[in-house]
Amino acid sequence: MEQTDNGAVTNHIQGNVPDGDVSPDNPLMRALSPEEQALLQILWEYFVRSSADVNDLGWPFWFYVEKTFSRQYPNGPEAKDVLESLPSIPRPPDAQPTAAYSLLWYQNQAIQEPTATDPVGLSIAGLAQLGKTNRVSADTANVLVGVMRSLAEYEDQQEPQPHVVTNSQVNLAEYLSWFSKATREKSFVVSGRLISELLSREFVRVNAYWSGGQATASLYGASLKDLLTVADASDYLDLVVARSLAAELPRWHDSPLPLVQTLDYLAYVFAADPAFGRRLIAAPDLQSAASLAATANSAAEFESHLNGIWNLIDGFQLPECSEEVLKARFGGDAAKGSLNYLDCWLTANLDADGFDRVERALQVIRSVRKIRVSHAHSRHETRAAAIRAQRQLGLPDMIHDWGTAFELVKARLAGAFDVIRHETQSRPRSEST
C-alpha cells in the first residue's frame, strides 16, 4: 500500500488473492439446501451482469429476487421462508434494532420482512458460500476482505493528534481496481456502488457510500484494527463468529457440575438413548482422564492438560455417519473427526430448535480445539485463529494466568456438553423408540 499525493491509497491487490478455504466449522458455512443455494445464485448472477446496468441502480429489489425464485420453484417453498432459513449469527447489541449477519442482507432487515422495493444483496459470507463451488465468487470474497484490511492499515497509519479526531474520507476507486477491470479469470466488472453497499452492510461495518458516481469510505472515528491480521474470507468469518459469541458472554451456559461429572452424565444419557446406544467415553490413558480434574500452573501444564482433554474428546465412541453427509457438511480430510460425527448424530436426531441450541455449544468446543492446535503448530494463521477462539471463550489474547485460563476452558466445555446433554435428554422420541 502506498500513499499518493492527493491522499488516496493505492492497493496492490490484483493477482494476490489468497487460496484459503472457509472453515466448515464456521456456522455461517453450514451446508445449504438447493433452494438456499438458488436464492444466493440469483444475487450472484445479478452481480456478474451488473456491468450491463447503464443506470447503475445498485442491488436488485426483493420483488425481482422473489419473482425469479418463484419461477425456479413454482410449487414452493416461498422465497421469504428460504431467506429466513439461511444461517446467521447475531451482531453485538446496539441502541437501535440490529439485524443478524447472514449470507444476504436487505434494506430494512432489522425491523421487518423484506418489502417489494427493498434492495437485497450478498454479504462476504454469501460470496464465500458460493465460493465452495465457484472459484470467482471465492476470489471476490477474498478480495473484499483485502480491501477492508487495507482500509484498516490506512486507519492504523494515521498519526494521532491531541485535540483532533482524524476525519478520513477515502476514495475507494483505487482499492476497487480488481472489480473495475475484466481479466481472463474474471470476465466482468462491477460497479463501485454495489461494493460500497455491500461493505456498509458487513458485520465489521465500513462506512462506505456511493455519491456522484464515486465510492467513498469515511473512517471518521472508525476502529478496524481487528482486520489487520485477517488474511482472507476464512479468517474474516472466523473473526465475525468470535465477535458475535463474545458479545453474548453474559449468556454463557454454566453446567451445575464440573467437567468430569458433566461428561459422565452426558455419557449416561447417550448410553440410555436407543438411537445412540453406546458408552460415549473410552479414556485413551489415565493421564488424559486425569486432565479433566487437573489444575494448571504454567503454560506447559495448560498445554499438557488441554492435550489430555482433547485426547478424550477425540476418542468419543460415536455412531457412524455416511461419508456423503460428512463431505457435504464438512468436506476435506478432517471430516471424520469426532466432533463432526457428534454434529452429524445431533443433526439427525434433534429437532430444528434443539439443534439451534447445541450448534453454539459445538462452536464453543471447536474453539477449544483451535486453541489446542495453536500450541502444536506455530504458523501465523493457526495463532490468529487461536486468538479469535480465545476471544470467543472470554480469554485474553495474551494469557498470563494459566491456572485461571484453564479453569475457564473447563467451565466453557462443561457448559457446552451440558447443553448437548439437556437437548439429547429432552428430545422428542417416536413411539417406536
pLDDT tens sequence across 225-258: 889 889 999 999 988 888 887 666 445 788 999 9
* Burial annotation 116-135 (CB, 10 A radius, 16+ → b, else e): eebbbbbbbbbbbbbbbeee
Q: How confident is the model at residue 378 (pLDDT cuts 50, 70, 90)?
A: low
Residue 317 φ then ψ, to 5°: -90, 105
pLDDT tens sequence across 97-108: 678 899 999 988
Report the pLDDT value the prediction gives residue 3, as an integer from 0 to 100. 37
User: Is the pLDDT reported for residue 405 higher than 60?
Assistant: yes
Q: How confident is the model at residue 1 (pLDDT cuts 50, 70, 90)?
A: very low
| Least confident stretch, 50-64, 230-244, 272-286, 349-363 | 50-64
The amino acid that residue 34 corresponds to is P
User: Is the pLDDT reported for residue 431 higher than 50?
Assistant: no
The C-alpha atoms of residue 86 and residue 93 are separated, in whole angstroms, by: 21
Report the pLDDT value the prediction gives residue 16, as an integer from 0 to 100. 40
Q: How confident is the model at residue 333 (pLDDT cuts 50, 70, 90)?
A: low
- ∠ CA(360), CA(362), CA(365), 5° rounding? 115
C-alpha cell at 77: 417453498
Percent above pLDDT 70 for the chain: 85
Report the pLDDT value the prediction gives residue 380, as an integer from 0 to 100. 61
pLDDT tens sequence across 149-196: 999 998 888 887 787 766 688 999 989 999 988 888 888 999 899 999
Cβ neighbours of residue 45 closer than 8 Å, sequence gap 6 or more: none
pLDDT tens sequence across 28-40: 888 898 999 999 9
User: Is the pLDDT reported for residue 64 higher than 70?
Assistant: yes
Percent above pLDDT 90 for the chain: 46
Quickly tell me which residue has 480469554 as its cell.
395
Radius of gyration from C-alpha coordinates of the chain: 23
pLDDT tens sequence across 199-220: 999 999 888 999 988 999 988 7
Q: How confident is the model at residue 74 (pLDDT cuts 50, 70, 90)?
A: very high
Global pTM? 0.63
* 267 DSSP assignment: H
Report the pLDDT value the prediction gives residue 19, as an integer from 0 to 100. 44
Report the pLDDT value the prediction gives residue 7, as an integer from 0 to 100. 36
pLDDT tens sequence across 14-29: 334 444 455 556 888 8
Per the DSSP assignment, residues forming a β-bridge with 10 are 2
The amino acid that residue 20 corresponds to is G
Helix axes 402-425, 338-349, angle to 10 degrees: 30
pLDDT tens sequence across 334-366: 567 889 899 999 999 998 888 888 988 998 998
The four Cα atoms 53, 57, 61, 66 give a dihedral, to 10 degrees, of: 10
Quickly tell me which residue has 465475525 as its cell.
240
Report the pLDDT value the prediction gives residue 259, as an integer from 0 to 100. 95
Quickly tell me which residue has 428460504 as its cell.
82
Average of per-residue pLDDT across 134-149:
96
Cβ neighbours of residue 256 closer than 8 Å, sequence gap 6 or more: 418
The amino acid that residue 296 corresponds to is A
Report the pLDDT value the prediction gives residue 107, as an integer from 0 to 100. 84
Q: Strands of 169-171's sheet, edge to edge?
A: 169-171, 214-218, 208-211
